[in-house]
A and B are shown apart, each in its own frame.
Chain A
Amino acid sequence: MAAGPMRMRATQGAGFTDVRVLMTHPMETGQRKDADGKIVPLHFIQNVTVKLNGKVVVEAETSQAVSRNPVFSFRIKGGAKGDKIEVSWLDNKGESTSIESAVA
């Protein structure tokens, strides 16, 4: 399974904006064997960046211990309807994907 699209939802909570993001990624640990008994090489997301109106608010480094098709939640102070939130990831093979949406 290859890396694929992302989905994101940013909703206003009590004094903060809740950002939920879903990534499509195999997150291979490098320990799993395929049907032929060959080890599936390491393939995982290493960096996740969250931006609010173009400014970085959260920077995460992740390992292969994060589950397949990762789901993350972050919280941003305040945040108004229409604020732009961008989340991007970068994996150990240099692949990356990003998504942008407005606070609902």
Chain B
Amino acid sequence: MSQQRRQFLQRTGILAAGIVAGLCKPLLALAATWNKDAFGAKTVADALKGLGAMGAVPSTAIVIEAPQIAENGAVVPVEVTSNLPGTTSMAVLVEKNPFPLAGKFDFREGALPYAKLNVKMGETADLRVIAWAGGKTFVATKEVKVTIGGCGG
């Protein structure tokens, strides 16, 4: 290989690396945080570990509104409210789903610790709601019976 060709290859290599780095930066800046460990967990225990909510204390101050019997597991309405003072976040888990964690909500100043969403449920299971308040974690559960599962098959 000639000296010129070697230099050319080196330079283009550096240039390409620069282009890639330049292109990647704005993409990374766009990407918001997503807790891969917690959302990728296949068991409730692992999801709670990923969330850092292993020792959650049962609390009646977390209110879960969901149907007792859901005919269609593809759309199960869930409404969660925390009456715990200083609630900063809440998470919704569906215990028997392939990936239990459905969502985590961070409430900043100006928002009430409340969220309503529709989740998919593969089968009859407990909904588990975690709330973070005053540096501690709390939990409440509610069973939803599912007639037709909603995870597709």
Residue of B nearest to A40 (CB): B152
Let me know if A61 and B35 touch, CB within 8 A.
Answer: yes
Map CB proximity to B onto A20-50 as digits: 1 under 8 Å, 0 otherwise.
Answer: 0000000001011100000000000011011
The answer, yes or no, to whether A99 is at the interface (CB within 8 Å) is no
A-B contact count (CB 8 A): 121
Let me know if A60 and B103 touch, CB within 8 A.
Answer: yes
Map CB proximity to B onto A50-76 as digits: 1 under 8 Å, 0 otherwise.
Answer: 101001111111111111101111111
A: contact size bracket: 35 or more
What is the interface of chain A mostly: helix, strand, loop, or mixed?
A: strand
- The residue that B111 contacts in the complex, of A29, A50, A61, A71, with Cβ under 8 A, is A50
Let me know if B34 and A61 touch, CB within 8 A.
Answer: yes
Residue of A nearest to B109 (CB): A57
25 A–B contacts, CB within 8 A, in A order? A29-B98, A31-B98, A31-B152, A47-B33, A59-B105, A60-B106, A62-B117, A63-B99, A63-B102, A63-B103, A65-B94, A65-B102, A65-B119, A65-B120, A66-B103, A67-B117, A70-B118, A71-B116, A73-B115, A74-B111, A74-B114, A75-B112, A76-B110, A76-B111, A76-B112
